[in-house]
Amino acid sequence: MTQLPIEPELVVTTALDDTVVVLRLNRPHRLNALNESLVTALETALAEAVREGRRAVILTGTGRAFCAGFDLKEVRDDGGRRQIDAQQRLAEALTSLPIPVIAAINGLAVGAGCEIALACDFLLAGSDAEFSLPEVLIGTGMGGGTSFLLARTVGRVKASDFVLLGEQITAAEADAIGLVSRVVEPDHLEAAAQELASKLASRPPHAIATVKKALFRGLNQTFTESLDAELTEIRAAHFHPESVALMESFRHRSTRT
């Protein structure tokens, strides 16, 4: 088996303050292409963000790419099974994380790179970003829950156009089909992500966690099931100490106006 080179820190973690942390994929020599080690490092960093009480995470890439998918040049002696399992775990970690994750797309988001961005809560794209899901071009299938998330994000017809052709699209085209939250100038991308993260961090964390969970839960429920689940969630949130304080403050403001 080919000996792989020892790589530097695979995920660079930068705490902006007590509430917001930036996780930067750090394999620029491979356009931040995923391998098992990078996925494990990212899973660890996400879990650590929760343990440290962070309220928002910014996920971005080092260099000129967000992530160029899985590293197909690495030796795989199991038909790619470990890579596939790693990607599925990462998608589950991102979508189930109780804090919001902002994908700041700098440059290329290809294959699994596009797919992990889709599993985030916000997709901010630099105007020079480019997206593609080229699985059909290399004879494979989608991963990371994309078969579930993509059509629910952009609609089945637009999803078919994007995936079945496998062609690269620009940030403006991604914005037009609803794939990204917003597009900003490349030199403003990190500042825009930090501004959004700060806004999210100012919201009650238990409410953010409840609503994020509800959004993903509701993707696969009937309307009646969603109503029942919402009732349980609202009752639980209503009696949370922070909610009680916020509602009391709101009532006082309403009385004075």
- Burial 169-183, CB ≥16 within 10 A → b, else e: bebeebbebebbbeb
List of E strands, the chain:
11-15, 20-25, 56-61, 65-67, 101-105, 108-110, 122-126, 130-132, 169-170, 182-184
Enclosing H/E stretch for 97 = none
| Active-site option among 92, 135, 190, 242 | 135
Beta strand 56-61 with 169-170 is: unpaired
To the query of whether residue 233 is one of the catalytic residues in this protein, the response is: no
Q: Which residues contact 51 (CB under 8 A, 6 or more apart)?
A: none
How many H helices and E strands in the chain?
Answer: 11, 10
CA-based end-to-end distance of the chain: 73
Please tell me whether residue 124 adopts helix, strand or coil conformation: strand
Q: Which of 36, 43, 48, 115 is catalytic?
A: 115
- Asked about 135 being catalytic, the answer comes back as yes
**Which residues are designated catalytic?**
115, 135
